[in-house]
Structure 1
Amino acid sequence: MISPIVRAVQDADIAGAAAALVEVHATDGYPVEGVERPKEWIRSSAVAQAWVAEIDRRIVGHVAVMNSRGEDAVALWHARSASDEAHVGVLARLFVVREARGRAVGETLVRAAMDYARQRSMRLVLDVMTKDAAAIRLYERMGWLAIGRTTHRYGDGRQIAAVCYVSPAG
């Protein structure tokens, strides 16, 4: 079994990452936004750093650390800690195509983001929709701590229940 290569996103990766995003949305209904303009969603100006996973030169996964933009998970973490805005990032846009699952691609991507945050003395937060049970299991297995619940709002007034998490300390 070939292990995934995880590396920082390059401009040449955007089309492959966008295709993977559309594929994951078709199979899993995730993400709930961004699929109409996947290249722009992946390249968002709010992205601080992003990584892709590739197997056999095909992009099979993606994750990003986003700059905080007032997300509920950020507010929940600020209420529980003394962290300032500069020391909190938002883990987001994690997706792995179905054929690459079971190969630790998601975990490897999340570890890249966690390493990035640790090097900058940051804690990562996220919200994950309660329907995404596999993602919840991944975060909990990796030591992320639930810090509260929220409602993820998207599209034309749509919403879905979500749980907020913070990355492990250290």
Structure 2
Amino acid sequence: MEIRPRTPEDLAACIEALAEVQATDRYPVDWPADPGAWLTPDGLVGAWIAIEAEAVLGHVALTHDMEVSRLFVTSAARGRGLAVQLLDVVRAAALGPLKLQVSSEGTAGVRLYERSGWRRVGSTRATWLNAAGEPALLYHYVSPPGEGHLAP
């Protein structure tokens, strides 16, 4: 397994992995009209993938405002610590403390972030609907103190 920067040639495989994650976990909640653009949010600084035997197992992105985004790991690759490894890559590339948002329905993500020392600093309602058809509750997190201060 290798973690490396995502290239334009990787985008189709990333979309395929995202489709599997969406079918299994409902992430993203609604399938985007343009999944390639969704995986490339505005202000993208970098994106990294975990890959094995030419299959994308995981993905993460970092935006210019130091927000971790589009983090996912395929169900077949879970339990191997890939999400933590992807977060470590982002922290190494970051110029300051990181932040992220996760839906309250994303219980595995909430557990991962809190177990890894991320601190919940607030919550807001999203513009999109959760499984119950209500505006989703988003938890806002910041990275553990002393992390995310390295430049590549």
TM range (shorter): 0.7 to 0.9
In the aligned structure 2, how far is the partner of 1:48 from the partner of 1:154?
Answer: 25
Query: How big is the shift at 1:33?
Result: 4.6
- Report the TM-score, using the length of structure 2 for normalisation: 0.87
User: Are residue 36 (structure 1) and residue 12 (structure 2) matched?
Assistant: no
Aligned match of 1:18 in 15, 18, 21?
Answer: 15
The one-letter code of the counterpart of 2:100 is: L
In the alignment, what sits opposite 1:159? 135
Structure 1 unaligned residues grouped into runs of 5+: 69-88
User: Are residue 106 (structure 1) and residue 83 (structure 2) matched?
Assistant: yes
- Report the TM-score, using the length of structure 1 for normalisation: 0.78
The one-letter code of the counterpart of 1:160 is: A
Query: How big is the shift at 1:158?
Result: 6.3
* Contact map agreement 2:11 2:36 (CA 8 A) in 1: yes
Query: How big is the shift at 1:150?
Result: 1.2
User: Are residue 169 (structure 1) and residue 145 (structure 2) matched?
Assistant: yes
SS of equivalent residue, structure 2 residue 29: coil
SS of equivalent residue, structure 1 residue 123: coil
Structure 2 unaligned residues grouped into runs of 5+: 147-152
User: Are residue 97 (structure 1) and residue 58 (structure 2) matched?
Assistant: no
In the alignment, what sits opposite 2:113? 139
In the aligned structure 1, how far is the partner of 2:9 from the partner of 2:134?
Answer: 33
Query: How big is the shift at 1:40?
Result: 1.5
In the alignment, what sits opposite 1:9? 6
RMSD: 1.7
Query: How big is the shift at 1:109?
Result: 0.6
Higher helix fraction: Structure 1 or Structure 2? 1
In the aligned structure 2, how far is the partner of 1:165 from the partner of 1:47?
Answer: 19
